[in-house]
Amino acid sequence: MAEIYLNDIAHGRSGDKGDTSNVCVFARKPQYYKIIEREVTPEVLKAYFGDMVKGDITRYEVPSLGGFNFVMKHALGGGATMSLRLDSLGKSMGSAVMRLKIHVEDGELDE
Amino acid sequence: MKKIAIGGGQGFWGDSPDAALHMIRKADIQYLSCDYLAELTLSIMAKQQVKNPKAGFAPDFRSRLLAEGGKEAWEKHIRICTNAGGMNITGCVEDIRDWAEAEGMHGYKIGYVLGDSIKDQIPQLLKDGWTFPNFDYDGDFNDIVDKIYNCNAYIGHEGIESCLADGADVVITGRAADSALFLAPLKYEFGWANDDWDNLARGIMAGHLLECGGQGAGGNYMYDWRGVPRMDELGFPIAELTEDTFDITKAPDCGGVICEQSCKEQFLYEVLDPSNYLTPDVNVDVSHATLTQVGDNRVRVGNIKGKEKPKDLKLCVGYHKGWKTVSMLSFAWPDAYEKAQYCAELIMKKMQRRGMKADDVHISFIGINSLHLGVADMSPELLKNANECVMRIAVFSEDKNECAKIIPEISPMQLNGPPGASFFGGRAHVQEVMALWPTTVPRDAIKIEPHVLEVK
């Protein structure tokens, strides 16, 4: 078992709709999809972000693209117009998701 | 087999016109669509128009893009669709007409679509029993109704298609949905029916992959940003459609990359539920979509499905919420973070003594945690050894004077606070805060009016 950053096996992009942050996450190799599916659940992300994301987190699976769409409500301190954050549009929410530490079994990345 | 190529020329108001101009010069395209409107843009334009009745649209569409490439596009029969009209569509049209006349472009046809701005209809809609429910937060629309800057419906392709059918060389809209700027020419060219949901969905996704400009061709690209060729000459994406195929590519002789990963990152960007991506034209289902590299800088998009369009239209309502100000002060090693943090504490103590009534205060430290906030690495070694750190205090208040109280307290900390504080950028300003009220309006409340004006 090893601990790695999600960033090591995934890529994606974040965007905003009002106070909702949309982060899509794609497996860098097809075999990583199931690791992300297992490790990056809405519950894990909710606990990881704590106060940063005040609303619900929903995960949508799109296996044909090897990816997931995470929709996080009340996640941007009020959203573009209202937010006092430096990154009011949540452009860095994607990289914030990518620094999540996940667990992989020995040899799982080599399959 | 008929093939239509359409370029995405602009990702937002303020984007570079270079890629659009390159496409006009070098790419084999029949259409160029340019998105200028983000969620808040119309509120900013509405505010500008209050100060100057001639403002309220994106003037750079004409002054930069058309001025440099508009005549060439016309001569090459490249037709342009844009929502640069913003809050002042007729003002934008007059500006373009004056330019076309001065260029001697006799017969140039300017289409424009009115009807998205419905601020004047709000009282009647309220009387009719429409409550404008807020989809994100609790709240009563009546409480904000006097503070509204703009109220615009996200309209679909219909008005744009009508202008194209009437021969328009350029079509100007207000709050047409970004993707409708792309669907309209495709639907017009291929003659898709109003309820041909699968094809309408293909047209929308062509728009979705193009409407953010460079982001669809290697800009803001997490997968391999180091490997993007010639990023300083980034090309913007082009969609090529036939009845059977849908490819994303880019112009010859420009930078950027079109590959499966670059398309993926844009594909789900701001889509929310991939099975129900709602647009005014169609409910798009991309939950089983495929992206396949079929050539050099060429990706084929497949398996996009459409469902019946939503009953109501999304509304963009911008209103006055209050005021904010952001103050900053920088510190250097040693103990840069500790000094910045201590300085913020001192300032907040002073503000408490002065009785500042803030509705919200956000303190962060640039270089440490201002972007990743609660998930940033705050390990003692990192904090101890930071080369530099910028204290950032943002204050929101409904009362402008309360908000302004903190401004004169920042620069004195250079002499009265922890060592080495460096003030930069001049005194902060109080900025107006506008908020969005996410809601919908019944489709039949919107009367879309297409017009075409010919330059004499």
Burial of B377: CB neighbours in 10 Å, binned 0-12, 13-18, 19+:
exposed
In this prediction the pTM is 0.96
In a domain, B142, yes or no: no
Do the bridges between strand A67-72 and strand A20-27 make them parallel or antiparallel, or are there none, so unpaired?
Answer: antiparallel
Question: Please, which residues 75-94 of chain A have a Cβ atom closer than 8 Å to chain B?
Answer: 77-82, 84-87, 91-92, 94
How far away is chain A from the Cα of B66, in angstroms, using its nearest Cα?
A: 29
Domains of chain A, by residue range, sit at 2-104
Residue B43 half-sphere exposure toward CB, CA atoms < 13 A: 22
Looking at beta carbons, which residues of chain B come within 8 Å of A65?
A: 264, 267-268, 289-291
- Interface ipTM: 0.97
A15 touching B (Cβ < 8 Å): yes
The pLDDT score that the predictor gives to residue B358 is 97
Mutate to test the interface with A, among B136, B223, B257 (most CBs of A within 10 A): B136
Residue B290: closest CA among B300, B276, B280: B300
How far away is chain A from the Cα of B336, in angstroms, using its nearest Cα?
A: 19
| pLDDT tens profile B298-352 | 999 999 999 999 999 999 999 999 999 999 999 999 999 999 999 999 999 999 9
What is the domain count for chain B?
A: 2
Inspect the interface and report whether the beta carbons of B265 and A11 lie closer than 8 Å: yes
Q: Which residues of chain B have pLDDT under 70?
A: none
DSSP string, A50-96: GGG--S-EEEEEEGGGTEEEEEETT-STT-TTT--SSSTT-TTHHHH
The pLDDT score that the predictor gives to residue A111 is 64
B179 and B47: one domain? yes
Preceding amide of B442 cis, omega within 30: no
Cα angle: B424, vertex B430, B432; to 5 degrees: 135
Question: Please, which residues 34-73 of chain A have a Cβ atom closer than 8 Å to chain B?
Answer: 48-52, 58, 60, 62, 64-67, 69, 71, 73
In a domain, B149, yes or no: no
Q: Across-strand partners of B328?
A: B392
Looking at beta carbons, which residues of chain A come within 8 Å of B275?
A: 60
B306 and B383: one domain? no
> How far out from the chain centre does Cα B125 lie?
28
- CATH code, B401: 3.30.70
B77 and B200: one domain? yes
Domain range holding B353?
317-437
Element (H, E) at A38: helix A33-39
The pLDDT score that the predictor gives to residue A81 is 77
B227 and B177: one domain? yes
In a domain, B104, yes or no: yes
Selecting from A62, A86, A100 the residue whose C-beta is nearest the C-beta of B268 gives A62
In a domain, B442, yes or no: no
The pLDDT score that the predictor gives to residue A87 is 95
B427 and B295: one domain? no
**How sure is the predictor about A52, in pLDDT bands with cuts at 50, 70 and 90?**
very high
Residue A108: closest CA among A53, A52, A50, A29: A29
The Cα B209–Cα B279 span in angstroms is 14
Inspect the interface and report whether the beta carbons of B374 and A49 lie closer than 8 Å: yes
Selecting from A24, A78, A92 the residue whose C-beta is nearest the C-beta of B371 gives A92
What ranges make up the beta strands (E) of B109-201? 109-114, 148-153, 170-173
B192 and B235: one domain? yes
- Class of A2-104 in CATH: alpha beta
The pLDDT score that the predictor gives to residue B334 is 97
In a domain, B424, yes or no: yes
Cα dist. B28→A42, B23, B31, B300 in Å? 45, 8, 9, 18
DSSP string, B270-294: T-SSTT-EE-SS-EEE-TT-EEEEE
- Tell me how long chain B is: 456
In a domain, B121, yes or no: no
B346 and B425: one domain? yes
The Cα B342–Cα B34 span in angstroms is 47
Looking at beta carbons, which residues of chain A come within 8 Å of B286?
A: 62
**How sure is the predictor about A39, in pLDDT bands with cuts at 50, 70 and 90?**
very high
How far away is chain B from the Cα of A106, in angstroms, using its nearest Cα?
A: 24
B276 and B357: one domain? no
Cβ-contact B171, B456 below 8 angstroms: no
The pLDDT score that the predictor gives to residue B440 is 96
Q: Across-strand partners of B301?
A: B291
Looking at beta carbons, which residues of chain A come within 8 Å of B321?
A: 81-82
